[in-house]
Amino acid sequence: MQWVRWLHDVGAGDVGDVGGKNASLGEMLRALTSLGVAVPDGFAVTAGGYRAFLAHNGLEARIAAALTGGDDLHAKSETIRTLILRAALPDALVAEVVGAYRHLCGDGGDLHVAVRSSATAEDLPNASFAGQQESYLYVQGEADLLDKVKRCFASLFTPRAINYREDMGFAHEAVALSVGVQRMVRADAAASGVIFTLDPESGHPEIVYVTSAYGLGENVVQGRVDPDAYWVHKPTLAQGHRPVVRRKVGKKELRLAYDPVGHRLVNAQVPEAERAAESLTEDEVLTLARWAVTIEDHYAARRGGASPMDIEWAKDGVTGELFIVQARPETVHSQQQGPTMRLFRLRERGQVLCQGLAIGDRIATGPARVIREPREMKQFRPGEVLVTESTDPDWEPIMKTAAAIVTERGGRTSHAAIVARELGIPAIVGAADACDLLPTGAPVTVVCAEGETGQVQQGALRFEVEEVDASALGRPRTKIFMNVGDPERALGLARLPCDGVGLARMEFVFASWVQVHPLALTRYDQLPHATQRKVDALTAGYQDRTAYLVDRLAQGIGTLAAAFWPRPVLLRFSDFKTNEYAHLLGGEQFEPREENPMLGWRGASRYYHPGYKEGFLLECAAVRRVREAFGLTNLKVMIPFCRTPAEGRRVLDAMREAGLVQGQDGLEVWVMAELPSNVLQAREFAAVFDGFSIGSNDLTQLVLGVDRDSEQVAPLFDERDEAVKRAIATVIREAHAAGRRVGICGQAPSDHPEFAAFLVAQGIDSISLTPDAVLRVTREVLAAEGGGQAAPAARGRREVGARG
C-alpha cells in the first residue's frame, strides 16, 4: 500500500511519514508488546496520503494564499477547512483506507475505531502539540471513517493549531498530517486516564503519577472531572515491592460514554457510591506503573538520556484488559536546564476567597477576569487572572497572556494544569464556585507555593522571589537535614540540597491526613452515637476501621520517605500532649485532663501504657507497611520524651510486639535528647538507642525552667543560654564516646547563625533545619568548618507587588 501503513510496521524513524503520535504507537507495538505492554493495533494514513490529497485537489497554493491574507485568524481557518472538507479523497487513497479497515474488522462486522490526528511536528520533547488537531471516537463503517479522515486533515488548520505553530516557530507548509486508526477500547464501560513518569508538579523523577476516571479519557484530559490519583515510587517498584505510596479518591462526577442510539458521546452523572469508590484496583495501578517505567526506559535508551513520558491509557470494560493508547515526551520538567530554582514566598496575607489544587509552585497577582463562555474571551486583557469553569485548546491564545489561571473543574493532568506548567504560570484547578466567588476586576493574588492546596487571596499582595543555583553551593562535612512535616510538600522540598530529613513529625500526618484519635477506632463501641457517625463517615470504604488509620498514616509517611529516597528520613512517633490528642475526633473520650500537659502523659510514656498502647501498635503497623510493603527502608524512627533508659527498653519491647525490630533490615531507633535526664545519662541511653536528635526547644524549657508559651517569662527562653549550650555539648561528647551519632532538629540553628557555628565546633554530626533556612545555614556551616566562604547560592532576590 502506498499511503496506508500498519502501525506495527512503523516506528521512531517514520515521524515525517506518519507523525509523532503514530510513530510512537507503532514503536510501542513492536518494541513493547513483547514486554507485556498492551497496545491496540491499527493503521495510519501517512503524511504522503495527506499531501497526495492536497495535490489531487490543487489545495497547496490556495491554503498558502489564505494563510497570508488578512489578520482574522478565525476567517483564515474557516476558509481553509471549508476547502478541505469540500474536496474529494483520491480514489486510490479511498481504496487503501477501506481495505485496511476491512482487514482490521476481520469477520466481526464493522468495528468501532478511534481516528486520531498525528502531525509530523507533534509530540516532540520541546513541543507537544497536544490537543491541537482533532480526534474522533466510536467511528463505525467505511463512509464514517472516510469522513473523519478528511476532518482530521482539516483540523491541521483550526485557529488554535495555526496559532500554536506560529508561536512555536513552525512553518505551516513544513507540517503535514497523518491519521491513525485504532481498534476502539471500550473505556466507556470501565475507566481511563493519564500517566506521567514523574511528579507533574515538582518534577520529582522517581514517581509515576497515575490518574483515572470512569469512561473515556477526554474528561480527564480536558479537566472536566477530578480524577483518582496514585503516586507510585519507581526504585522500590523495580525491586518487586508494591509502593503505591499515596492515593487520592477524586470526585469523578461525570462518565463520558458512547450512546449507540444517538451515535454520539454523552456525559452522564456518576452515582455517589461509584464516585466514592476507586476506579482502579491496586494491582491495575501497579501494572500501569510498570508499563510506564518500561516505556520511559525504552525511550531513554533510544534517546541516550532521561526521557520522562506523558502516557494515556484505557481499560476495556468488556474484556477487563488494560491498554496504552498514546505515549509522548513530557514537555515541561524535561526541558528545564540546570539546577537553578525559583523560590516564591508570600510576604503578607489577605482573605482567602477560594481554593483548590495548586499547580506551578508560584505566586502571581492581577485583576480577576471571569469568563464563563468562549465567546467572552475577547474581553480578556493581558496580565489578568483567568477564572473559568474549565479550558481546552481553544482557550490557549488568552491563557498565554494570563498572569494566572483558576478553574472550577479539573485535576493535575487537566488541560489547564498542563498548559499552565508549560507557560510557567501558577494555576488553581478544582476551585469550587470560583466564578461566583471572584468578582471581575478585583485585584487578587494566586498562591501556589505553599503545598498542595492553592489559594486565591484578596488584594495584590507582596511576595518575594529568590533564584537559587544549588550547584554553586558546596557540601559541608556536617550533614544538613531538613525538618518536614507536610507530606504534600515533600516531593517539592526534596529538590533542595540536603542529606535527608532529620525530623518528620507523625502528629502532622495525624492532624491533616488521619484526623481521628486511634482509640476512637479500637474502642469504637465506647463512643457517643454522634461521634460514631462522624467516624463512620471518615472511615467509609474500609471494612476495618483501624485499617483506615494504618493506611492513611502509611500514605503520609510513605510519601515523605519516597520523596527523599535513598536519603534517610527520621520519623518521630506521635508526640501530641493530652490536650492536643483530645482535639482529634473522638479524643476527648480517652484523654485525661492534665494541669501541665507539657510534663504529663506524652511521648514514650504512652507507647507501652495500657491507656494508649493499642494506638501505638497501629503507628508501628503503618511504619512496617512503609518499610516492608513499600520497600522504603530509608525510614528510621525516633522516640520523643523518653525519661529513662528503662522506659526506652519498654518502648522497644512494644515495637517488637508490633513486628518492628531494632536492627532488622537496617531499622534504626533514635531518641530525642530533650530532657535533662537524656543529657546526664547519655551513655546509658546510648546503650538502648542508635542515635540522638537534640530537641533544643524542649531542652531549653527544661534546663531553664521556662514555659515558652508564658508571656511573663517567654523573654527568658533562649537556646543560646550558656546552660543550654553546655547541655548540648555534653550530649554530643558523651554520645560520641559511646559510638553514637548526634543531630539537632530544634529551631535554634534555623534562627540563629552563630548557633550553627557553635554546633559545628562541638563536632555535631548533623543539623536539621526548616526548609527556608537550608541554603543560608549550609553556607554558614561551610564557613564554620573552615572551608572559606561558600560560593553564593542565591543569584538574586526581589520583592514583587504591593497591597491593592
Residues labelled catalytic: 415, 745
Helix, strand, coil % in the chain, rounded to nearest 5: 45, 25, 35
In angstroms, the CA 206 to CA 455 distance is: 28
The span from the CA of 582 to the CA of 516, in Å, is 10
CA separation (Å) from 497 to 451, 476, 544, 768, 793?
19, 11, 41, 12, 11
Instruction: Return the H-helix or E-strand segment holding 753.
Output: helix 753-761
Instruction: Please give the span between the terminal C-alpha atoms of the chain, in angstroms, as a whole number.
Output: 66
> How far apart are the C-alpha atoms of 263 and 550, rounded to whole Å?
47
Nearest-angstrom CA–CA distance, 614 and 617:
5
How many CA atoms does the CB half-sphere of 691 hold within 13 Å?
23
Q: Which strands sit side by side in the sheet containing 463-469, from one edge to the other?
A: 340-346, 463-469, 794-800
Contact at 8 Å (CB) between 449 and 460? no
- Cβ neighbors of 644 (< 8 A, separation 6 or more) are 677, 681
Distance, CA of 237 to CA of 152 (rounded, Å): 40
The number of C-alpha atoms within 13 Å of 73 and in the hemisphere containing its C-beta is 12
In the DSSP assignment, the letter for residue 439 is -
E strands, 275-377, in order: 309-315, 322-329, 340-346, 352-359, 363-370
Residue 303 phi, psi dihedral angles, 5° rounding: -90, -10
Angle (CA) 319 323 325, round 5°? 135
Are residues 435 and 387 in contact, defined by beta-carbon separation less than 8 angstroms?
yes
Run of H or E including 4: strand 4-6
Cell readout for 406 is: 483558576
Q: Are 570 and 636 in contact (CB under 8 A)?
A: yes
- Please state, in angstroms and as integers, the Cα–Cα distance from residue 446 to each residue in 434, 764, 798, following that order: 12, 41, 18
Angle of helix 142-154 relative to helix 91-105, nearest 10 degrees, comes to 120
Longest alpha-carbon distance in the chain: 94
User: HEC states along 175-198?
Assistant: CCEEEEEEECCCHHHCEEEEEECC
